[in-house]
Structure 1
Amino acid sequence: MTETAPTYILTAHCRSVLGTVDVVTRFLYEHQCYITEIQSFDDSEEEHFFIRVEFRNDGANARSIGLLREAFSEDAARFDMHWDIHDASTRPKVVMMVSRDDHCLSDLLYRYRTGHLNIEIPAIISNHPDIKHLAEWHGIPFYYLPVDVTTKTMQEQQVLDLLQQYRADLVVLARYMQVLSPELCAKLNGRAINIHHSLLPGFKGAKPYHQAWEKGVKLVGATAHYVTEHLDEGPIICQQVEAVDHSYTPKRLIERGQDTERLTLARAVRLHCEHRIFLHRNKTVIFEGS
């Protein structure tokens, strides 16, 4: 086996029936593929099975990803599997959308620049011009698309045109403070991630951290989820909470909350781009890995 052999990721889900693990592992064995990571889950309540396998195709009869897909399709059809095989070396194209707060964007750009996130960022879209300098410093095209009630339809069409132009695999709302229309949410189904605070109890409207401070909250947190037309109610990818106490000022609460948002969003983007998330109904099945 060679270190330079291509690494692929097989993801599949289907009804819970006998032989689901065997059909995947036997196929890989017969095609001389070496499994480096395997995770599976059987949802007994929904009677649905999920599996994710990373493997190297480095035998004497190594096949291309196209031939592997063609070969597995017959086996998968017997189980009515929804499946795909991905090339782990392919960097997904992730378009960022942001308003004025740049803490999440700055963190993702750092991880992208240093290689900690295996992605491409072909464009940054904003409804404000404030972070244009940040995009320029990274050499990433920046698109300032202002929006209001009268221009929302036109602006969202411009967004869609850019996503098509750059062949975006994923859209990240890195503190993009605009509600997307139901039509745009439908077109981005399963490939748009949002981040927002998760203060306990919840505080909506202006200055949520100031509201939280006034109530003496003891936890701040963040939630990353897929975007749906129901505001902040899409399938949850990951959440994180941090303890705070009476000594926190509103400023310190905001700083702690923004730190949590950064980490939670970065984790969600990594999970999605490593094909570790299965969307099933309004829930997610996630294989974290190492």
Structure 2
Amino acid sequence: MTPRTAVAARPARVRRPLDEETLALLLLLPAALIFGAVMLYPMLTTIYNSLFVNSLTEPYLGTPFVGLKHYQDMLHDARFLNALKNTLTYGLITVAGSFLIGVPMALVAHAESRLRWLARVAMLLPWAMPPVISALIFQWLFNGQYGVMNDLLVRLHLTQNPVAFLTNPLLAGLVLVITVVWKTSSFVALIALGGLQGIPQELTEAAEVDGASRIQSFWRVTLPLLGPALAVAFIFRVISAIQVFDIPYALTGGGPVVGQYGATETLGIYIYRTTLEFLDFGYGAALSVALFAVSLAITALYVRFVRGGE
């Protein structure tokens, strides 16, 4: 047998199919690269920048390494503590309010009725509207000179003089809460409606056959099965509430000023002003890391609480 015939007689190599783990890693690789480029790299860069001084208003300082000094200064920064308090307060109130309104909205949109399409359209409008436009609409509604609310109060003889809603600290906070709840309740309603659509109707019918009232059927059958959808909505609402910037900035600009600090200034607004108005990129990066840490801590506590309940 010649060498040529020997080579020709060799059987061709058969490629083995990839195992499931290798295939899964290959399929996830593009998403991991995009995540690293869009999320991980900016986050690591922000953490790195927070360890240095970088203020364009004081270029003579250079960019020396200061370690955790920015975070130490943050603990004694009264404006940061005020913004943190406002963020957590408005976050708690608006998240609770969006669920108290959003879940009943979803139930109305899910009910068997000829007019449920109207409820669904009304539910979609706030969600589809840009946040800044929503803030401007409520700013016009509660304007102290030509606002619709002041016109109604005067016509109903509830007040003689226009109320300065947006210059009063308490009323400005109330208007901010109303605006955020109106905007975000539709998101909760959409998630809850999707969860309601996935619950078999036979379960509620069986509960009613067993003698349960509609309220009992909702609390013992519908609500537990709706739990996963509400958990997803809660996570997204908490994160968006803590990181809120657009609505309070467009509505009140963080004001009115009480003492030295804004009554509705959130962490997002403070980070924006520190970084883009005061041009202090080092301290602004530290504030951004603090905001991320607060979001991560609250989300982790909630996930642990949910798992503990299971």
TM-score range, shorter chain: under 0.3
The normalised TM-score by structure 2 is: 0.25
Q: When you count strand as a share of all residues, which structure comes out higher?
A: 1
Q: When you count helix as a share of all residues, which structure comes out higher?
A: 2
The normalised TM-score by structure 1 is: 0.26
Query: Does 1 or 2 have the higher relative contact order (CA < 8 Å, sep 6+)?
Result: 2
